[in-house]
Structure formats: C-alpha cells, structure tokens
C-alpha cells in the first residue's frame, strides 16, 4: 500500500476507519484522507438488506441480534468519524436507499468533486 501512496494513486478502504482514533492514526502513518463516502440509509432498509443477504451468505453474523449490535456500534463509534471528516469537508453522503445502479452513479458524481474519475 505504501508503494501506491508514493505513486499518488487513489484507493478505497471499505468500512474503515470505524473509530476516530483509527482514522487519525492512518492519516499520520500512511497518508491523508482525500474523502469519506457515507452511505446513508435507514436502519430498517439496512436490516432488511442484511437479512436478505443472510439467505445466501452463510454468514453467522447476519442475524437480528448482531444487526442491532452493529447499529449501536455505528452510532457510538463510527458517527463521530463521519462528523470529524465533515468538519474537514471530506464527506460524500450518498442516499443509499435506491438501486445499485443509482447508488453507483451518485458515488461517481460525488468522487468527481474530489477529482477522482
């Protein structure tokens, strides 16, 4: 990864940072964050999507109990990360309630604002 950073490449890290300390450490030790993509969707839609995924994923953690814990963790630990990067004008918030194609288009449009093609 460091070689890519040295070549000024862009890369995406999915689901990271989940806590503010992780983001700060990453920026200090690896490279500055260009932007953060925040997929905004209601807990109900997310719950339905995760339970639907459970039908085929064979993931033992796609169940109601774990999903509730994930929401709690997101609200307690990850929302402060988003707020931190919002203060730095680095957040792209995407309404993720649409189709995959619609969301993909919104992500592309948001990334263009940061010079990513």
- Identify the helix (H) or strand (E) that includes residue 39: strand 36-40
CATH code of residue 107:
3.40.50.300
Can you give the residue range of the structural domain that contains 31?
2-112
Number of domains in the chain: 1
Global confidence as pTM:
0.83
Question: Looking at residue 59, what DSSP letter applies?
Answer: -
DSSP state of 63: S
pLDDT at 25 exceeding the cut of 90: yes
Average pLDDT over residues 28-34: 92
Please say if the pLDDT value at position 115 is more than 70: yes
The secondary structure of 40-58 as a DSSP string is E--HHHHHHHHHHHHHHH-
Banded pLDDT at 54 (limits 50, 70, 90): confident
């Amino acid at each position: 990864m460091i070689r890519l950073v040295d070549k000024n490449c862009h890369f995406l890290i999915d689901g990271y940072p989940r806590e503010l300390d992780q983001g700060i450490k990453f920026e200090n030790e690896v490279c500055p964050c260009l932007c953060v993509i925040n997929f905004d969707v209601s807990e109900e839609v997310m719950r339905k999507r995760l339970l639907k995924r459970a039908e085929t994923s064979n993931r033992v953690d796609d169940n109601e109990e774990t999903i509730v814990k994930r929401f709690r963790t997101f609200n307690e630990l990850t929302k402060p990360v988003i707020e931190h990067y919002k203060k730095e004008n680095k957040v792209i918030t995407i309404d993720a309630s649409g189709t995959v194609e619609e969301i993909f288009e919104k992500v592309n449009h948001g990334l263009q604002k940061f010079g990513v093609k």
